[in-house]
Structure 1
C-alpha cells in the first residue's frame, strides 16, 4: 500500500523483454539499504516487486497485464518516473490510500498556468466516471491529487509548486498518457450500492447530501 506522496524522481536505466512482460532497471536516487528483494515499490503509480537492488538502483518485473493497463509499456531508457516505497506500519498517511493497481491510462488534454500552480485536465474512459467526485482523490502517475472539477470523462487537478519539482508530471505535455488509479473507497461504496441488498448506506449518503 502507498500514500501517493512521491519520494523521488527516478531514471529508467534499461528496459528488456522478460517473457511477455518487461524488466525495468531504475536509478531511484534513494537510499535503499532498508529495502530487500521481494519488497513492493511503486513506479509511476504501479506496484511492482523488487527483483534486485544495488545501492540506489533496483530492478522490477512488469507483467503483460500490467503493461496492458499502464504507461510502463511506453518506458524507455532515460525516462523519468515517480518512485514511492511501500507504506510501513506507523508511517503517516499524508496523501490517500493508493494500492498501486492502475485502473486505466488517461491522456493529458490541457495544461493551464494559474499563478504559481498548474491546472491539468486529464481525459479517461467514461466507464470509470462512477468513481470520480469533485474534491475526491485520484492517483495520477502515483501522485495523490485532489479533483478540482469533473466534466463528463475529464477531470481537472491542480499541481502546486512543490509537487511540480518533486514529481515527473510537469515533464508531460498535452497528448501524453498517464496512469490513473481511482480512489479505492469509492470503489467499495459503489460495490455496496450496486448490489442493492442494503439501502442503509445509500439512504445515509443521500441524507448527508453526498448523492
Structure 2
C-alpha cells in the first residue's frame, strides 16, 4: 500500500526487453537506500517488486499485462518517474490509500498555468468515471490528488508549487499519458452494494 505522496523524482537508466516483459532499472537514491529484494516501490503509480538493487538504483520485472495497461510501456531511458516506497504501519497517511494497481491510463488534455498553481485537465475513461467525485481523491501517476472540477469526460486537478517541483506533473504536457487509479474505497462500496 502507498499514500500517493511522491518521495522523489527518479529516472529510467535501463530497459531490457524480454519476450513477454521488460526489466526496468530506475535510479532513485532515496527509495533504493533501504530497499530489499521483494520490496514494493511505486513507479508512476505502478506497484513494482524490487528484483535487484545497485548503488542508488533498483530493477523490477514488468510483465506484458502491466505494460499494456499502464504508461510504463512508453518509458524510455532518461525518462523521469515518480517514486514512492510502500508505507509501513508507522507511516503518516498524507494522501489517501493507494494500492499501486493502476486501473487505466488517461491523457492530459489541457494545462493552464497560474501565478501560484497550474490547472491540469485529464481525460476520464468510462471504466472509472463512476468512482470519481468532486473533491474526492484520485491517483495520477502515483500522486494523490483532489478532483477540483469534474466534467462529463474529464476532470481537473490543481497543482501547487510543491507538486509541480517534485513530480512528473510539473513538466508533462497535453497529449502525454498518465496512470490513473480510482479510490479503492469507492470500489469496495460498489461491490458491497451489488451483493
**TM-score, structure 1 as length reference:** 0.90
Give per-residue Cα distances to partners, 1:132-178, cap 9 Å, x unaligned. Answer: 10000000000000001111120100110001111111211101100
Which residue pairs with 1:209 in the alignment? none
What is the aligned partner in structure 1 of residue 4 from structure 2? 4
- 1:131 is paired with a residue whose SS is coil
CA-atom RMSD, angstroms? 1.1
Matched positions, count: 195
* Distance across 2 between alignment mates of 1:19 and 1:38: 22
Gaps of 5+ in 1: 196-211
8 Å CA contact retained: 2:48, 2:61: yes
Any stretches of 5+ residues in structure 2 without a counterpart?
none
Q: Give per-residue Cα distances to partners, 1:27-55, cap 9 Å, x unaligned.
A: 01316332201100000000000001113
SS in 1 for 2:30: coil
Report the Cα offset of residue 107 of structure 1: 0.2
Secondary structure at 1:88 match in 2: coil
- In 1, the alpha carbon distance for the partners of 2:79 and 2:91 equals 29
State the partner residue of 2:45.
Answer: 45
1:38/1:125 CA distance change after superposition, 3 Å:
same
Aligned-pair CA distance for 1:17: 1.4
Corresponding residue of 1:150:
150
Q: 1:31 to 1:174 in 2, by over 3 A?
A: closer
Q: How does 1:23-172 map to 2 (within 5 A)?
A: 23-30=23-30, 32-172=32-172
- Summarize deviations over 1:57-106 as a string: whole Å, max 9, x none: 00011111111110000010000000000001111100000000000000
- Specify the alignment match of 2:183 in structure 1: 183
Distance 1:43 1:172 in 2: 16
TM-score (norm 2): 0.97
Retained in 2: the 8 A contact 1:18–1:61?
A: no
The Cα offsets for residues 105-133 of structure 1, whole Å up to 9 and x where unpaired, read as 00000001222100000002112111010
Structure 1 residues 106, 58: CA separation in 2 closer, same or farther (over 3 Å shift)?
same
Q: Which has the larger radius of gyration?
A: 1
